[in-house]
Structure 1
């Protein structure tokens, strides 16, 4: 009888607001065609190490697979890997996802990681687990696309796997994560908001973006029958009443979006998504009518910078005037634009930051309902970019606040240091001075108190109105420094920060 490989999949803890672990559900669907799998979700099982060890004690697993975004997920991934290595030293440990794709050599510098899967993981993981079940010889391992591994102590990077366009017959095994009610959250969209990812990848190649580094400009839209099947299941079987789309770029080419929007218009589930200013501006009036019928409530738009030169440098492909125009367009169509900005770039750091503050004020003047998300600009190391983009253009060396070259971590353990977790989360950078760090904090405090996010379902309306009134004089006169009264009030009201908690 042929052995059916059994894989233990782990989602490291990252949030207190659990969402369906879509990446692991896709991996499980692929693995279960040829074997079996079990999922441990650290966002549900808060004692992740104990939950993983308990699962491993119940039955034999041929391998442990851990999906890692980076940032706060690295530490729990390390803890699980070390625990499994100690208890089950012969069990192969495989890391996949953004972190091992962008930092492959760093990942395999750790003795508790045996294999790193780069890019899309479904086919690579199936082939790897199958090869390991047959003894895992070097010849078999060398044939697996997208795999990095060690041979005689040296790290080997197999060629990248060709981008796969997706399988229309794939059905996600939601039953593997237990009670779906744990994953359906109350949000500004609805009482039972689910998450879904219809497409993967993005055809744009922004130099700062992990999606571009992982997929190299490739993208894949779902067959409409699959989208209808999955959204209908979420609505009619699981009771979801709204959707957060985790597509890397939901609005791509208009002609491809129309069939999807027609399905969503029939289902009438309020939704949120990532979008681009240029794509929304290019939609025809008839397509906007479909957008309205489908109940799009908010679109997250990467504005990034008010500087056309900087947008060109990072290959964003949009212009500042398009950001302003889409703010007005969204207002006309009843969609809230959620603009993200990257503050404090390594060059002209203070001047660019102050320009961004003024640009944000202009957006709020055009459309006061615009939501603003601010991040620190933390570019990817050159070696983390997709192989198509490495060394294609000269870039200024990254220098810290003392003028010394920034040296990135060389092991996963180093990435768990607070400064590097903050870097990965776009919360801080080595070139920020204490003065500018404080300036940014104060501006964001005044801004979010003056315009509390509509996504905040916890703070009462009277409290948000009061905070807005308190902050109005500071915002009107640009008196951002040391907003002590707002900081005190926030201890009691605790306004929501959408860049941390999400929709």
Structure 2
């Protein structure tokens, strides 16, 4: 048979490899319909030769690649290009946030034939079926492609009922890569699984890469379905923790409560992503139940302490500086750790305003720590996303920012760091501002080693905190080399460039 499909997950992390749910989801959509194999760059010693070994058989007609911004581009771009050169008849299909948001530069590269623009549960098998039968594919929803030098972007499909989607083929993946390889130790547990319980997000934050793809839509699995899936993973692979990698797990309090009631007493700890202004509306009884049922930490986009910037970010119109502070204090009562992310370095009228706002947010983070020292802080530098039509995106383009015009330019270290929100390449941010942010971050994480740093011994925590103490208390963040040396050897707090972590 010469119509097999190779599903490729490029390397996305130096360690802490998670279950590759993106290619598992596509695998589920074609299971028992087409023959396919998995290749996971995270677990292959020689990923390229593994791909070539399959393609040399002459049995494969399609290469499907999931591409998140940042690290995955290191393999996705050169490997796709080489496949086009060596196997010109193979159709190359990309999916994921990067090609959906940067579709023009992808399709103009000459080695990406189709882009799945959003969920591929129906679009992918329909595309393969159309290509196999030589049928018209221009009416398939969630698809982007070139036709006669013109880019065609088909309409978005309605979000599917998540409970009706086929089960993920864990057992089939296990034939290629032992599931145990994906169940690493975290602060949550010894065998932590990654899981998606929903797609999309009902909000329209102007800096978020999810917005152009899902257009303020959200659809979740039922609490019962989530519970059944996790029990399958527990019974078959002995998981004791789960990270919910939804864009917004906590949209529905009713669903969250139902899930907590089901998972309670199952000894599974969990983490998820949510919004402050959503969960702050939860009843105290709901929060207490969540904690009892294993919820240890929740990731929130706090973003900034400036109310006018929060409004500019389109944070739903309800999140405020006061609420961010009070909510951190509220969660402390329930022993749920708030993990607050901040986006520093948004554009302003002049250089001084940008720097002053950075310093204001640094002071705001310190205020949060004084209210709830257990709050974990993740700092990003603002990186524009192509949310065309938003006031913020128009402002950054007017300031002279533009994305690379060639796909291979994304392989440069600067643009990779841009994707990880660590080096913005934006004209209004100066090197001394970036240094200010990074140096503060170093001191902050030295003075407050967090629960995520589960490998640190009590002695190591005391040493790092000792060397960071005078800097944090005096607000002297300049050139904290002594802390960086200790962090290099001991501290593994969650950072995008370390774990390949990318969140919106």
Q: What TM-score comes out, normalization by structure 2 length?
A: 0.92
Of stretches 223-232 and 108-117 in structure 1, the one that deviates more from structure 2 is 223-232
Write the distance in 2 (CA, Å) between the matches of 1:416 and 1:128: 29
Of stretches 210-219 and 482-491 in structure 1, the one that deviates more from structure 2 is 482-491
Q: Indicate if the aligned counterparts of 1:75 and 1:413 stay in contact, CA closer than 8 A.
A: no
Q: Indicate if the aligned counterparts of 2:2 and 2:60 stay in contact, CA closer than 8 A.
A: no
Q: Does 1:356 align with 2:352?
A: no
- Residue 281 of structure 1 and its aligned partner are, at CA, apart by 1.4
- Residue 394 of structure 1 and its aligned partner are, at CA, apart by 7.0
Q: Which residue of 2 aligns with 1:369?
A: 374
| Secondary structure, counterpart of 1:398 in structure 2 | helix
Q: Which residue of 1 aligns with 2:417?
A: 422
**Mapping for residues 191-270 of structure 1, pairs under 5 Å:** 191-270=190-269
- Residue 56 of structure 1 and its aligned partner are, at CA, apart by 2.5
Write the distance in 2 (CA, Å) between the matches of 1:298 and 1:170: 29
| Secondary structure, counterpart of 2:341 in structure 1 | strand
| Secondary structure, counterpart of 1:141 in structure 2 | coil
**Mapping for residues 432-471 of structure 1, pairs under 5 Å:** 432-471=429-468
Q: Indicate if the aligned counterparts of 2:11 and 2:72 stay in contact, CA closer than 8 A.
A: yes
The 1:169/1:111 distance shift into structure 2, 3 A limit, reads: closer
- Residue 494 of structure 1 and its aligned partner are, at CA, apart by 4.2
| Secondary structure, counterpart of 1:235 in structure 2 | helix
Q: Which residue of 2 aligns with 1:335?
A: 336
- Residue 442 of structure 1 and its aligned partner are, at CA, apart by 1.2
- Residue 27 of structure 1 and its aligned partner are, at CA, apart by 0.6
The 1:31/1:5 distance shift into structure 2, 3 A limit, reads: farther
Q: Does 1:154 align with 2:150?
A: yes
Write the distance in 2 (CA, Å) between the matches of 1:79 and 1:48: 12
Write the distance in 2 (CA, Å) between the matches of 1:240 and 1:59: 39
- Residue 258 of structure 1 and its aligned partner are, at CA, apart by 2.1
**Mapping for residues 272-283 of structure 1, pairs under 5 Å:** 272-283=271-282
Write the distance in 1 (CA, Å) between the matches of 2:8 and 2:440: 39
Q: For residues 49-95 of structure 1, give each alpha carbon's deviation from its aligned partner in whole angstroms, at most 9, with x where no partner exists.
A: 11211222356123111010122211210122123223321111111
The 1:285/1:128 distance shift into structure 2, 3 A limit, reads: same
Q: Does 1:481 align with 2:481?
A: no
Write the distance in 2 (CA, Å) between the matches of 1:202 and 1:375: 20
Q: Which residue of 2 aligns with 1:323?
A: 324
Q: Which residue of 2 aligns with 1:108?
A: 107
In structure 2, the gaps of 5 or more residues are: none
Q: Which residue of 1 aligns with 2:26?
A: 27
Q: Indicate if the aligned counterparts of 2:264 and 2:294 stay in contact, CA closer than 8 A.
A: yes
- Residue 465 of structure 1 and its aligned partner are, at CA, apart by 1.2
Write the distance in 2 (CA, Å) between the matches of 1:345 and 1:144: 38
Write the distance in 2 (CA, Å) between the matches of 1:248 and 1:98: 12
Q: Indicate if the aligned counterparts of 1:337 and 1:370 stay in contact, CA closer than 8 A.
A: yes
Q: Indicate if the aligned counterparts of 1:62 and 1:129 stay in contact, CA closer than 8 A.
A: no
Q: Indicate if the aligned counterparts of 2:329 and 2:371 stay in contact, CA closer than 8 A.
A: yes
The 1:92/1:396 distance shift into structure 2, 3 A limit, reads: closer
Q: For residues 392-432 of structure 1, give each alpha carbon's deviation from its aligned partner in whole angstroms, at most 9, with x where no partner exists.
A: 54755327xxx971221122211112221111111112232
Q: Which residue of 2 aligns with 1:55?
A: 54
- Residue 232 of structure 1 and its aligned partner are, at CA, apart by 0.3
In structure 1, the gaps of 5 or more residues are: none
- Residue 485 of structure 1 and its aligned partner are, at CA, apart by 2.5
Q: For residues 335-356 of structure 1, give each alpha carbon's deviation from its aligned partner in whole angstroms, at most 9, with x where no partner exists.
A: 1111000011122321111011
Q: Indicate if the aligned counterparts of 2:251 and 2:278 stay in contact, CA closer than 8 A.
A: yes
The 1:59/1:418 distance shift into structure 2, 3 A limit, reads: same
The 1:473/1:170 distance shift into structure 2, 3 A limit, reads: same
| Secondary structure, counterpart of 2:210 in structure 1 | helix
| Secondary structure, counterpart of 2:403 in structure 1 | coil
Of stretches 75-84 and 119-128 in structure 1, the one that deviates more from structure 2 is 75-84
- Residue 367 of structure 1 and its aligned partner are, at CA, apart by 0.5
Q: Indicate if the aligned counterparts of 1:184 and 1:192 stay in contact, CA closer than 8 A.
A: yes
Q: Indicate if the aligned counterparts of 1:67 and 1:96 stay in contact, CA closer than 8 A.
A: yes
- Residue 266 of structure 1 and its aligned partner are, at CA, apart by 4.3
Q: Indicate if the aligned counterparts of 2:384 and 2:393 stay in contact, CA closer than 8 A.
A: no
Q: Indicate if the aligned counterparts of 1:168 and 1:226 stay in contact, CA closer than 8 A.
A: no
Q: Indicate if the aligned counterparts of 1:143 and 1:158 stay in contact, CA closer than 8 A.
A: yes
Write the distance in 2 (CA, Å) between the matches of 1:58 and 1:462: 55
Q: What TM-score comes out, normalization by structure 1 length?
A: 0.92
Q: Which residue of 2 aligns with 1:490?
A: 487
Give the counterpart of 1:472 among 451, 463, 469. Answer: 469
Q: Does 1:142 align with 2:144?
A: no
Give the counterpart of 1:10 among 8, 11, 20. Answer: 8
Q: CA RMSD for the aligned pairs?
A: 2.0
Q: Does 1:77 align with 2:64?
A: no
Write the distance in 2 (CA, Å) between the matches of 1:171 and 1:37: 16
